[in-house]
Amino acid sequence: MSLGKYALVVMGVVAVTLAAAWPAVAPEARAAVLCGAALSAGNTVLAYFLTIWSITRSPNVFLGVVLGGMVARMVAMLSAVVAAVLLAGLPVLPLAASLLAYFVAFLAFELTALHRRTSQPAAVRS
C-alpha cells in the first residue's frame, strides 16, 4: 500500500468514526477527542513512512530509522500531550482515551499493511 493510500485510509477512518461518535461526545471534550485522533493519525502516517522508506535500505539503516523514529515519535507525542493539557487546557481523560483508542487501531492497521506489503513478491512491491 502506498503512503498516500495509507494516509487516505487513516484520514477516512478518523472522519467516519468521529462523525459517528460526535453526537455522543460532550461539547467540552470534543477538542480533546479531536486532538487525540489527530495526534494518533499523524503518528501512524509518520511511522508507516519511516518504515517503507527504510525497508529497502541496509539493516543498520532500517533499525536506526525505525528505532530512532520510534523514540522521536514518543518524545513528540509526549510533548504534544503535555502541551495540550497544560497549555491548551484540554481535558485529560477524553484526550488520553481518544489517543489510545486510535493508536491501538492504527497500530493493528499499520502492522497488517506492512505484513501485506512485505509478503508480496519483490516485483509487485515496487
User: 16 in helix, strand or coil?
Assistant: helix
CA 16 – CA 13 distance, rounded (Å): 5
Residue 81 and residue 32: Cα distance in Å, rounded?
10
Whether 90 and 35 have beta carbons less than 8 Å apart is answered as yes
Residues 16 and 126: their CA atoms lie apart, in Å, by 30
pLDDT tens digits, one per residue of 30-86: 999 999 999 999 999 999 999 999 988 899 999 999 999 999 999 999 999 999 999
CA atoms within 13 A on the CB side of 15: 6
Residue 117: the pLDDT is: 83
Distance, CA of 46 to chain centre: 7
Instruction: Specify the pTM.
Output: 0.85
Tell whether the model's pLDDT for residue 123 goes beyond 80: no
For the four alpha carbons of 94, 96, 102 and 104, in that order, the dihedral sign comes to: negative
